[in-house]
Amino acid sequence: MFRTLLAVTIAGALAVTSTASYAESVATERHQVEITSLTNSLANPWGMAFLPSGDLLVTEKGGQLRRVSLDGAVSQPLAGVPEVVARSQGGLLDVAIDPNFSSNNWVYLSYSEADPDGGEGNSTAVARGKLGNNGLTQVEVIFRGAPKYKSGAHFGSRLVFAPDGHLFITLGDRYSAMADAQTLDNHHGKVVRIKPDGSVPSDNPFVDQANALPEIWSYGHRNVQGAAFHPETGELWTAEHGPKGGDEINIPQPGKNYGWPEATYGVDYDGSIISDKTHVAGTEQPHYYWVPSIAVSNMIFYTGDQFPAWKNDLLVAALKGSQVARLDLHGNRVMHEETLFEDAIEQRIRDIEQGPDGYIYLLTDDRNGQLIQIKPAK
C-alpha cells in the first residue's frame, strides 16, 4: 500500500533529511481517509505536543526531544532535557505544553529518572523548562514518583492539563510491585494531580489523610498510558494496560479505587491467575474493557471539523494490531466500536493527537518511527 518518496525539507540549520511515505486512501465506516507518513526519521518516539506555531515537540524514548514540522523536517536534539534511564519501557516519555504557553513558554516532560542518591531504583519524574530557540532552560523537577524502585517496566505516563489548569500525571504499578497499587503511601499504580509548579491542590482527596501521599487522585491502576478530558463533561478519562486481557477505559473519580490487582478481567502473560475476581466490593468497575487486550496507548476525544461523523468520539490508539479503536459515544455510553487503520499501518501506534488543523496525527513506536497524518480523502 505504501510507496516511498525522498522529501528533503530544510527548516533552518537544525533540520535533517526526512523520508516520507504515502498510502492510498482508506475506507472506514463513516469517512474515507488519506494516510500520509510525514517522516520516518524518529527513533522510538513516545509523545508529542503541538506548539502554537503548528510545529510539534516529539520525544524519543532514548532521551531526545525534537521539533518536527508538518513538512517532515526533524530538528537535531534540543538542549536541556533531563538525563533519563533509557532501558526496557523506560526513557523519555510524554511531553505537554502549558495552557498559558504563549505567555510563559513552559514545556513539561515525563521520564524515567534514576535515584539521585545513587541507589539502583528509578521512578517516573516530571520536569518543566522554558522553550527557547535551542531547547529548554530553567529546567526544574516538579514531581518524583516514590519510592525509587528497581524495575524497567510500567512507568505510565501521560501528562494532561485539566480545564482548570491542574496537571494530571498517570503512573504505572512498576509490574513486580503491583500490590502497591492498593496502598496510598506510594505512587505506584496511581493517577496524580498537581499544580503546574508541582505543589499540591488543597482539594485533592487525600490531602488531609495520614499515611497517604497528597498528590494522589485515584488508585488501583495497573499501567495508565492514555488520558484525555471529555469535551462536554470536563471529566478525566484514562486508558490502562491490562495484563493478558482486561485493557480498560476508566473515568477516574477523586479518591476512588479501580481494583488492580485485586480485580481484573485478564490473566498473567504465562496464563496464571492474578485474581479470580472481576468485581471486588469497594472498587470501581472499568467503564469499558477489552478481552483480549489491544495494548492501549494514548487517546483523544475528536473535536475537530474535518471528520464530522466522529465528533466527540473517543479514539484510542493501540500497540497491538497497529490500530485505533473508535468508540462511538452517546453521552458517556459506548454504543459501538470500530477498528481503524489496522491494515494500513504496520508499526505499533504509541501516541495520537488532534492537530490545530483538525487532522489526526499518530506516532509509531519503531527504530524508524513515523509521524503519520490522517486527513479526509480528496
Q: Is 310 helix (H, G, I), strand (E, B) or coil?
A: helix
- Cell representation of residue 118: 545513587
Determine if residue 282 is left, alpha or beta; phi over 0 gives left, psi from -120 to 50 gives alpha, anything else beta: left
CA dihedral of 174, 179, 183, 188, whole degrees rounded to 10: 10
The neighbour count for residue 116, using CB atoms within 10 Å, is 10
For the question of residue 154 being annotated catalytic, the response is: yes
- Helix, strand, coil proportions of the chain in percent (round to 5)? 5, 45, 50
- Cell representation of residue 188: 505506584
Which helix (H) or strand (E) element contains residue 15? strand 15-16
User: Annotated catalytic residue: which of 31, 154, 188, 241?
Assistant: 154
Burial class from Cβ neighbours inside 10 Å (0-12, 13-18, 19+) for residue 215 reads: buried
The neighbour count for residue 273, using CB atoms within 10 Å, is 10
305/111 Cα distance (integer angstroms)? 33
Report whether the peptide linkage leading into residue 52 is cis, meaning its omega lies within 30 degrees of zero.
Answer: no
Q: Helix H segments across 80-165?
A: 101-104
Terminal C-alpha separation, the chain? 17
Q: Helix H segments across the chain?
A: 101-104
Burial class from Cβ neighbours inside 10 Å (0-12, 13-18, 19+) for residue 333 reads: exposed
Q: 128 Cβ partners below 8 Å, 6+ apart?
A: 98, 106, 107, 108, 109, 139, 140, 142, 196
- Cell representation of residue 234: 470536563
Q: Which residues are catalytic?
A: 154
